[in-house]
C-alpha cells in the first residue's frame, strides 16, 4: 500500500546512458526464466514447514468434501484455492507448490507497474529483480503457506488503489478494496494494512475514497467474524490461539526478551541481505535530506512504525512467533523506498544490483537462524535419511507412527512419506499423547506393516517401552514386534510387523 506520492518529481523522460532498454519485455523474459528455475527446483524442495503441511492436509480434506468454512484459526481462502487446484491435478507434493510459484511470478507485474508509476521503468525492473530474489520472498514461493497468495493480492490491491487515487477514479479504489478483501481471506495481516491505509486515505484524499475502500476491504473480515460467532458464540474465535500462545510463550529470561526484540529487525536485514540493507539505510538517509522527499519518507515511516510496533508488542507478549515468513509485511512496506537509489543509474549501481541479490542468497546459508534460506530443505541429515528410507519402502498399505522430533522433521517425514493421511499419526509439541496412543493402536491394527520413529527424549518415552524386539504401548496394552532400521544418536527408526491376536 502506498501513501500520497504527488511530491515526487522524477524526470521519467530524461535520457540516461545506463537506462535499461525495453524494461517490460525484459521483465517478461526474466519472469519466464525465474519460473523455469523454480520449477527445476521442485525435486529438491522439502516440506519443512509444519503449518504448510497442515494446510495441505486440510486442503485435501476440502477437496474431498467441499464445504463453506465458517470458522477456524486460519482464514479459509487458502484451502479453497489449494483444494480447487488439487481437484484439477491431485498431487499433494507438486500442485500446491506450482500454484504458489505461479503466483510469485505473476506478483512481479503489479509490482512493476507500481514502481513504474513511482519512479521509471528501469528502476521498476531492478526493484522487481531484487524483490523476487530476497531469500525470504524466494523461500516462501517454494512453501505451501498462505503468504504468497496474500502477497500477490496485497500488491495487486496496492497497484489498483494507487492508480485510482492518483487518477481520481473511484472504480479503481473500489477494485483496490476488493483485492484487499481477498488478501484478508488468506492472512489476517491484510486486515491491519487495510485499516491503516483507510485512515491515510481519509487524511490525504476524500471521504468518498475512504468509504468505498473501507467497505469493500472489510466485507470478508465482517462475514468471517459473524460466522465464527454463529459457530462458537465468540466473535473472535479465530484468535483464541493468540491467547493460548501468550500462556505457552511467556518470557522466561532476559535473553528471551532480547531475542524477541531484535528478531524482526534482524529478519528484515536477512530479507534485504546485509549489504543491500546497508545501502538501503544510506539511501533513506541521503534522500531524506532533500526537502521534496521528506514528507513521502515520513509517510512510509509512519506506516512501517505502526506495523513494526504491533509486531513488537505481539512478539513480546508471545502471540507472534519468531518466524521469518511474517517479515514479508515489514519488507513489503519498507522495500519501495529502495527505488530512490536506482532512479539515476550508473555502471556501479548496476553491478551493485547483482551484489545485493546474490550476496543475500549466499549469506542466507551462513546464518544460524532457521527459515532464512531460500530453498526449503531439512537442516538435519538424519531427517533426510529417514525420509529416503520410508519413501523407498512404504506402500499404500503401510502405516507410519512418529514421535515428536522437532516441527520440521516430524511433519516433513510424515508428508513426504507419500502415504495417505489416514495411514499416519504423529506427535507434535501440543497434541495429547493419549489421543495419539489410541491412533497408534488404530494404525498398527489397520496397517500390519510400517514404520515407527521413537526419540530418546521424545513424548512417547513414558508410554512406549522397548523389550527385546517388541514395542509395548502400556495404556493400550498392545505389543508391536519391531526391527530397527536406522539408529541415530537421539532417535531410532523401526520397521514393525503386527499380527492381530484376535485373527
Q: What number of other Cβ atoms are within 10 A of residue 328's Cβ? A: 23
pTM: 0.92
Cell numbers 478483501 label which residue? 181
For the chain, the domains span 23-363, 381-497
Torsion of CA 284, 363, 133, 330, to 10 degrees: -50
Q: What is the pLDDT of residues 426-447, one digit of tens each?
A: 998 888 888 999 999 999 999 9
Extract the C-alpha cell encoding 481: 514386534
Extract the C-alpha cell encoding 471: 514395542
Q: Which strand (E) or helix (H) includes residue 492? A: strand 491-497
Identify which of 174, 142, 144, 146 has the alpha carbon closest to the alpha carbon of residue 161.
174
Give the whole-angstrom CA distance, residue 140 versus residue 451.
31
On whether the CB atoms of residues 170 and 206 are closer than 8 A, the answer is no
Q: What is the pLDDT along the chain (503 residues), one digit of tens a residue?
A: 455 544 444 444 444 556 778 999 999 999 999 999 999 999 999 999 999 999 999 999 999 999 999 999 999 999 999 999 999 999 999 999 999 999 999 999 999 999 999 999 999 999 999 999 999 999 999 999 999 999 999 999 999 999 999 999 999 999 999 999 999 999 999 999 999 999 999 999 999 999 999 999 999 999 999 999 998 888 888 888 777 777 778 888 899 999 999 999 999 999 999 999 999 999 999 999 998 899 999 989 999 999 999 999 999 998 898 999 999 999 999 999 999 999 988 889 999 999 999 999 999 999 888 889 999 998 878 888 998 899 889 999 999 999 999 899 999 999 999 899 999 999 988 888 889 999 999 999 999 999 999 999 889 988 899 888 999 998 888 999 999 999 999 999 999 998 776 65
Give the whole-angstrom CA distance, residue 137 versus residue 373.
10
Give the whole-angstrom CA distance, residue 137 versus residue 404.
29
Extract the C-alpha cell encoding 41: 527446483
Q: 268 Cβ partners below 8 Å, 6+ apart? A: 277, 327, 330, 331, 334
DSSP, collapsed to helix, strand or coil, labels residue 413 as helix
DSSP, collapsed to helix, strand or coil, labels residue 496 as strand
Q: Work out the burial of residue 357: count CB atoms within 10 Å of its CB; fewer than 13 is exposed, 13-18 middle, 19 or more buried.
A: buried
Amino acid at each position: 500500500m502506498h501513501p500520497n506520492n504527488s511530491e515526487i518529481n522524477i524526470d521519467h523522460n530524461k535520457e540516461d546512458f545506463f537506462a535499461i532498454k525495453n524494461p517490460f519485455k525484459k521483465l517478461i523474459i526474466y519472469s519466464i526464466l525465474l519460473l523455469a528455475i523454480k520449477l527445476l527446483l521442485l525435486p529438491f524442495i522439502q516440506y519443512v514447514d509444519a503449518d504448510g503441511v497442515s494446510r495441505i492436509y486440510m486442503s485435501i480434506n476440502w477437496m474431498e468434501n467441499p464445504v463453506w468454512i465458517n470458522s477456524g484459526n486460519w482464514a479459509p481462502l487458502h484451502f479453497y484455492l489449494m483444494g480447487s487446484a488439487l481437484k484439477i491435478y491431485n498431487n499433494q507434493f507438486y500442485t500446491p507448490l506450482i500454484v504458489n510459484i505461479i503466483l510469485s511470478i505473476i506478483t512481479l507485474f503489479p509490482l512493476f507497474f507500481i514502481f513504474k508509476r513511482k519512479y521509471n521503468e528501469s528502476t521498476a525492473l531492478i526493484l522487481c529483480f531484487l524483490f523476487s530474489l530476497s531469500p525470504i520472498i524466494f523461500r516462501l514461493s517454494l512453501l505451501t503457506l498462505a503468504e504468497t497468495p496474500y502477497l500477490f493480492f496485497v500488491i495487486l490491491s496496492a497497484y489498483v488503489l494507487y492508480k485510482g487515487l492518483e487518477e481520481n477514479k473511484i472504480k479503481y479504489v473500489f477494485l483496490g478494496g476488493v483485492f484487499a478483501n481477498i488478501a484478508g481471506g488468506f492472512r489476517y495481516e491484510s486486515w491491519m494494512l487495510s485499516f491503516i491505509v483507510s485512515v491515510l486515505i481519509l487524511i490525504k484524499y476524500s471521504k468518498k475514497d475512504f468509504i468505498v475502500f473501507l467497505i469493500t476491504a472489510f466485507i470478508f473480515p465482517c462475514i468471517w467474524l459473524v460466522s465464527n460467532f454463529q459457530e462458537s458464540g465468540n466473535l473472535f474465535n479465530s484468535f483464541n490461539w493468540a491467547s493460548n500462545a501468550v500462556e505457552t510463550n511467556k518470557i522466561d529470561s532476559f535473553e528471551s526478551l532480547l531475542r524477541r526484540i531484535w528478531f524482526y529487525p534482524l529478519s528484515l536485514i536477512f530479507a534485504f541481505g546485509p549489504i543491500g540493507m546497508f545501502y538501503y539505510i544510506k539511501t533513506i538517509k541521503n534522500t531524506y535530506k532533500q526537502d521534496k522527499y521528506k514528507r513521502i519518507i515520513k509517510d512510509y515511516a509512519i506506516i512501517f512504525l505502526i506495523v513494526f510496533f504491533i509486531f513488537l508488542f505481539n512478539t513480546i507478549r508471545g502471540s507472534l512467533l519468531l518466524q521469518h515468513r511474517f517479515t514479508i509485511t515489514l519488507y513489503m512496506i519498507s522495500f519501495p523506498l529502495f527505488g530512490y537509489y536506482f532512479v539515476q543509474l550508473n555502471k556501479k549501481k548496476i553491478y551493485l544490483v547483482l551484489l545485493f541479490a546474490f550476496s543475500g542468497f549466499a549469506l542466507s546459508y551462513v546464518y544460524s537462524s532457521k527459515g532464512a534460506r531460500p530453498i526449503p530443505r531439512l537442516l538435519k541429515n538424519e531427517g533426510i535419511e529417514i525420509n529416503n528410507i520410508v519413501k523407498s519402502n512404504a506402500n499404500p498399505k503401510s502405516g507410519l507412527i512418529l514421535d515428536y522430533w522437532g516441527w520440521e522433521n516430524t511433519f516433513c517425514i510424515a508428508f513426504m512419506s507419500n502415504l495417505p493421511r489416514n495411514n499416519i499419526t504423529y506427535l507434535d509439541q501440543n497434541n495429547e499423547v493419549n489421543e495419539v496412543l489410541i491412533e497408534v493402536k488404530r494404525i498398527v491394527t489397520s496397517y500390519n506393516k510400517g514404520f515407527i520413529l521413537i526419540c530418546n527424549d521424545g513424548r512417547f518415552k513414558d508410554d512406549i517401552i522397548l523389550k527385546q524386539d517388541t514395542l509395548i504401548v502400556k495404556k493400550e496394552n498392545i505389543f508391536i514386534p519391531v526391527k530397527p532400521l536406522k539408529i541415530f544418536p537421539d532417535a531410532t527408526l523401526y520397521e514393525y510387523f503386527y499380527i492381530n491376536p484376535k485373527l
